[in-house]
Amino acid sequence: MSVSVEARGQHDTVVEGLRTTIKRFHASGEKFRIRHGSTNSTRQTATKGQNFVDTGSLSNILEVNKVQKTCLVEPNVPMDQLVNSTLAYGLVPLVVMEFPGITVGGGFSGTSAESSSFKYGVFDRNINYIEMILANGDVVHCSEDENPDLFHGAAGAMGTLGVVTLLEVQLMPATTYVHLSYHPVTGVADATGTLEALTEDNSIDYLDGILFSKNQGAIIVGRLSNECAEDGKMPKFSKAKDPWFYLHVQDRISETPNGTSTETILLAEYLFRYDRGAFWAARWAFDYFMTPFNSVTRRVLDGLMHTRVLYKAQDASSFSATQYFAQDLAVPFPQVGELIDYATRTCNIWPLWLCPLKPSPHPTINPFPASGHGASEMLLNVGIWGPAPTKRQDEFVEINRGFEEKLRTLSGMKALYAHTFYTEDEFWRVYDREWYDALREKYGAGSLPSVYDKVKGSAVARKTIKDRVRDVRPLGGAHGLIKAMRYRYSSEYRRIIRDSPV
């Protein structure tokens, strides 16, 4: 699949329209933000009355190059569309975000660490080059060789240095299957020790872990394979009748608590295995609506349990404001035990997701070791997602601030998609302000919000009457449910499901 003249012309026309809008804002000295039409953030951001540049139409794949093993893609292409297109050529991205609706641009501009990140780093480390419109309307190309400071700086900077309009994604040969092995672990130390040792095994393609409690967990190892299981049995996780993946893993280690169990599944099933239930976050929706959580109810409500639909519900409800704790916290391996002990005392949320992360060697907003950029120290991302231990707004803020302070003492960093309550001074004690401000000055990004401007909006604002009504159970959840159902049965969602690779 080569770039057609028509596709390239359509892309250039859209970019020229965006340039015109941005130049107008620049000439009048007006600030603006980027609107791209979808988000997987749990932050609340005030955007009323602001100028926007709408990149929603940049949602096409221009080329899959089988020889070079690359894909030329616009930023609003979601993961499932990308995977569906590349698999047709026997290729797959090196890092694939587990939620199919996360976009290529979101993966580059945010922080996306997945089960292959121990090997390849976060998603943006597997981009060859980007096309970007600067805040003055100039179009530039950025790569290791051309504007490398901007190329590395824009990764994880949440669209605060320019508007990304095109990306070349690295690909690798795909296989039909993934051979999985489930290693039972008996606690935090066992889990972290096992994970750290396995990061040295070059034969492994995918590696993550689930801690179901302080005393039970599983390390999940994946190896690409073209060999089907000998008995022909392959579990699936994408249909209503199928189990949620994390429950399946718990069943497997319960059956073999003293030994490793193995199985083979389709590659596409593996890549989006956590879509249904959003890992396990959706289980608390059952509690909220006082609905039994079992295989029957999960099957009946399956249409509402996929991440695209769940995010629509979240955006329309009050869950993410003060009722739901969601953080991804990356710390060096020796500090993981102390972080989890603190999380247990503070929130006591289980399960936890464990994802080893190879940090970037370049300056970035993404998590990096305390020893500095360029260090080879592996980090472990701990995903903590569940009901907040309080419904009080002030206590919710203090809990999050407590985690931010704890991270500082543990030489850790957080993913900025989530609630963030740093003061500006605290924020820039974590991140390199001198480097970041120099980049913004060099490339004229003053018309765009800074990265702190983007995340500080997640602080819980004073609640309106509408917000207070939504806080009343189950009114807020019901409002989100209605929005989710409308989206679930929309023509847009039906088209997405039709084109899904699983």
Q: Phi, psi at residue 320, to the nearest 5°? A: -75, -10
Q: What is the pLDDT of residue 50?
A: 74
CA-based nearest residue to 330, from 99, 106, 112, 45: 112
Gap between the Cα atoms of 239 and 269, Å rounded: 10
Q: What is the pLDDT of residue 470?
A: 60
CA-based nearest residue to 351, from 360, 343, 342, 359: 343
Q: What is the pLDDT of residue 459?
A: 46
The stretch 411-435 carries a mean pLDDT of: 91
- pLDDT of 304 > 50? The answer is yes
Question: Distance between the two ends of the chain, CA-based, in angstroms?
Answer: 22
Pairwise pLDDT comparison (49 vs 7), residue with the higher score: 7
Whether residue 91 contacts residue 116, with contact meaning beta carbons closer than 8 Å, is answered with no
CA-based nearest residue to 73, from 99, 102, 97, 105: 105
Residue 29: CA count within 13 A, CB half-sphere: 0
DSSP-assigned states of every residue in 446-471: TTSPPHHHHHHTTSPPPPPHHHHHHH
- The pairing of strands 139-143 and 70-73 is unpaired
Percent of the chain with pLDDT over 90: 71
- pLDDT of 251 > 50? The answer is yes
Tell me the residue ranges of DSSP E strands in 301-421: 324-332, 352-357, 379-387, 413-414
Q: Look at the block and give the residue holding tokens 């990061």.
A: 199
Q: What is the pLDDT of residue 479?
A: 66
DSSP-assigned states of every residue in 468-499: HHHHSTTHHHHHHHHHHHHHHTSHHHHHHHHT
Gap between the Cα atoms of 161 and 214, Å rounded: 42
How sure is the predictor about 38, in pLDDT bands with cuts at 50, 70 and 90? low
CA-based nearest residue to 450, from 38, 41, 160: 160
Among the residue ranges 11-25, 209-223, 426-440, 481-495, the one predicted with the least confidence is 481-495
Helix (H) or strand (E) holding 132: strand 127-133
- pLDDT of 173 > 90? The answer is yes
Whether residue 291 contacts residue 304, with contact meaning beta carbons closer than 8 Å, is answered with no
Pairwise pLDDT comparison (501 vs 381), residue with the higher score: 381
